[in-house]
Amino acid sequence: MSGNKYEFMYFPVKGYGNMVRIVLEDQGIPYEYKPVGENWPQVKPTTPFGQVPVLTVNGSTQIAQSHTIARYLGREHGLMGSNNIEQAQIEMWIDQSADLRKKFAKMIYTDYENGLKPFLESIPTELAPFEKQLTGDSAHLLFGKLTLADYIVFDVLHVLTALSPTCLDSSPHVKAFYTSFAAMSSNTYELTYFPVKGLGNMIRLILEDQSIKYKFNLITKDTWADFKPTTPFGQLPVLTINGKTKISQSHTIARYLGREHGLMGSNNIEQAQIEMWIDQTIDIRTKFLRMIYENYEAGKQPFIDSIPAQLEPFEKQLTGDSAHLLFGKLTLADYIVFDVLLVLTALSPTCLDSSPHVKAFYTSFGARKNLHAFLEKPEIKSMKFTGSMHHIK
């Protein structure tokens, strides 16, 4: 996710601005909404084509055309597939939904009285390609993961069901997609953990950087005894979804969020590669924790001395691209590796000096706007990394 500042300008109707706002809202992307009303004569000359919506990026660059804005946001936030072929497939379905929207708009503005019934009768036929595509997976339109096509198709279905609430009844897979996507986009999260960074930090890095709204529930020594029996395994962290479903185990929570927010690759092979690097970081973290809790005095320096060797596979992997660990794009592995590097540099600020590509990754990733803002909060900076007596922050 980028640290760009967005202003979105549109009339006070859903219209062609709705698809853009759905993406912004569901992805938790901060933006300022500027409705256009009586000031339209003054605003119009300032727009690229004398029309809205317009997205202003960083106070200067204006992007018009609703689908162009949506595609821009899709590329910025990992919703356009992992290669050119996947992007073309995503755009193919977006363009097909645009054809359907044009027919709807033509009927509404030019022939509502005579055209409403024929248009409603045509909906099952218009949706037939979508119905076929969604057979076998009603959660997502393409690749078994969230893409921009899901948002654009959902918005068109939102328009159609407003026109006729029963219009999807003849398209059961489309209806299932519409229902599940609406529910998926409204998840609420509550993360419960102790007042240390520990194994909860990686989760908060994802939530904060992806601008995913969540409530942080702090557990202290005084409240732990009462809360412990309510957890799946008597341990933290726990992520509570929609007030009822509880997920424990820190890396399981991270992988869940990764799948929900497009951070786990585009297929099973990419997911396996992402998890491979995550598991490698677990090995490093396990060695760190064993030293901290069992052999700090005698084991600290040997552990620090071993860091370059432990980071050697990461150093090799990041050669040529120090921005991301895999596929030239943001994945869950980036967050998990960065969190481990946070721990290591807290133990020894110079420990990355022998691994220049790892150090470059650590520096650039830590400069991401939302991450930097989170890590600079006084309450986070003062928080220990572990619950041990050794005060590593």
Q: What is the mean pLDDT of residues 177-183?
A: 87
Domain of residue 288 covers: 268-381
Structural domains in the chain (count)? 4
- Each residue's pLDDT tens digit, 304-340: 999 999 999 999 999 988 889 999 888 999 999 999 9
**Is 289 within the bounds of a domain?**
yes
* Domain co-membership, 277 together with 223: no
Q: How far is CA 245 from the centre of its chain?
A: 20
Residue 62 sits in the same domain as residue 125:
no
Q: Domain ends where: 169, 184, 199?
A: 184
> Tokens in use for 330?
């943001």
* Same domain as 251, residue 211: yes
Is 50 exceeded by the pLDDT of residue 102?
Answer: yes
User: Is 16 among the domain residues?
Assistant: yes
Q: What's 364's domain CATH number?
A: 1.20.1050.10
Give residue 393's pLDDT. 56
In eight-state DSSP terms, residue 7 is E
Q: What is the spatial distance between Cα 95 and Cα 71, in angstroms, rounded to a whole number?
A: 11
150 and 93 share a domain? yes
pLDDT of 369 > 50? The answer is yes
pLDDT tens by residue, 130-142: 999 999 877 899 9
Query: Do 39 and 116 belong to one domain?
Result: no
Q: What's the confidence (pLDDT) of residue 225?
A: 95
Q: What is the DSSP letter of 228?
A: G
- Show the tokens assigned to 135: 């057979």
Residues 207, 293 share a domain: no
Query: Based on the domain organization, do 297 and 325 belong to the same domain?
Result: yes
| CB 182 within 8 Å of CB 154 | yes
In a domain, 393, yes or no: no
C-alpha dist (Å) from residue 263 to 52, 89, 242, 345, 381: 32, 19, 21, 25, 26
pTM above 0.75, yes or no: no
Say if residue 111 is in the same domain as residue 55: no
Residue 77 confidence class, pLDDT cut points 50, 70, 90: confident
Q: Last residue of some domain: 157, 184, 211?
A: 184
Q: Is the pLDDT confidence value at 185 over 90?
A: no
Residues 359 and 296 in one domain: yes
Does some domain include residue 263?
Answer: no
Max distance between CA atoms of the chain, in angstroms, equals 85
Q: How far apart are CA 268 and CA 75, in angstroms?
A: 21
User: 241 forms bridges with which residues in the sheet?
Assistant: 189, 245
Q: Burial-class residue 41 by CB neighbours within 10 Å (0-12, 13-18, 19+).
A: exposed
For residue 111, being part of any structural domain is answered with: yes
Mapped onto helix, strand or coil, the DSSP state of residue 129 is helix
Kindly report the average pLDDT of the chain as a whole number: 92
Asked, for residue 387, whether it belongs to a domain, the answer is: no
Confirm whether 29 is domain-assigned. Answer: yes
The sign of the dihedral angle between the CA atoms of 218, 223, 226, 228 is positive
Are the CB atoms for 20 and 68 separated by under 8 Å?
no
Report the DSSP pairing between strands 6-10 and 32-35: parallel
| CATH number of the structural domain spanning residue 44 | 3.40.30.10
**359 in the same domain as 290:** yes
> Are both 277 and 374 inside the same structural domain?
yes
Please report the pLDDT score of residue 266 as a whole number. Answer: 76
Measured distance CA(68)–CA(55) in Å, rounded: 10
Residue listed under structure tokens 């709204």: 213
C-alpha–C-alpha distance, residues 69 and 7, integer Å:
12
Structural domain includes residue 392:
no
> Where is the domain boundary, 206, 236, 258?
258
pLDDT for 33-65, tens place per residue? Answer: 999 999 999 999 999 999 999 999 999 999 999
The answer on 285 and 372 residing in a single domain is yes
Q: What is the distance between the alpha carbons of residues 203 and 198, in angstroms, rounded to a whole number?
A: 10
